[in-house]
Amino acid sequence: MSPTVIDGLPAHVLFVHAVVVLVPLAALALVVCAAWPSAARRLGLALPLLALVALAFVPVTTHAGEWLEGHVREGELVERHTSLGDGVLPWAIGLAVVAVGVWWLGRGRSADSQGADSAGRSAASRARLAAVPVRIVAVVLALVVGAGSVVAVYRAGDSGATAAWHDKYSKSSLHHGEEGEDGDGD
């Protein structure tokens, strides 16, 4: 399993940064590649690899979070974060599956277009026309899975930040007389 403590810090607070960056990045790349086939060809294997790395970090982060949950005070905010965190994995799996599918579509299309001769041009154009519904489905799936995964990561992250920082800091400066006591730098 994954480490639970790294250099004295709970590993969850370190791993979560990978999830917060990689999942939205993979979602954005997925939508771009689904909507723009030449981008999918340019990125090649980078799209599914990015989505798979993002997916791999989710259970690692969740495991480290479960360890951390056992080392903090239980409360409603922690329970909410745990519940929302568990909801990220299905979205990350969907993101990876659709990313592999979009990569596969882009890969197959470039191979089909390279082998067309003058007699096969009409067959190639019919194949491209038949692929339009498949491309539309890919774009819709990419949008749904991309948006869902970003929202799931945002909600889990926001609830985690709330659980960690709720009632743990002062809204005004503790050092009286310093600039920016009200937090706006005035």
- Res. 47 pLDDT band, cuts 50 70 90: very high
Q: What is the pLDDT of residue 94?
A: 98
Distance CA 135, CA 37 (A): 9
pLDDT, position 168: 75
Q: What is the DSSP letter of 9?
A: E
The chain-wide mean pLDDT, for the chain, equals: 86
Which tens digit of pLDDT belongs to each residue from 76-119? 999 999 999 999 999 999 999 999 999 998 875 544 445 445 55
What pLDDT score was predicted for residue 138?
A: 95
From residue 40, alpha-carbon distances to 66, 76, 99, 104, 175 in Å are 36, 43, 10, 9, 53
Mean per-residue pLDDT, 143-161: 97
Q: Where are the domains of the chain?
A: 12-114+126-165
Q: For the chain, first and last CA: distance in Å?
A: 48
Q: Name the token pair of 61.
A: 């982060």
Mean pLDDT of 5-16: 93
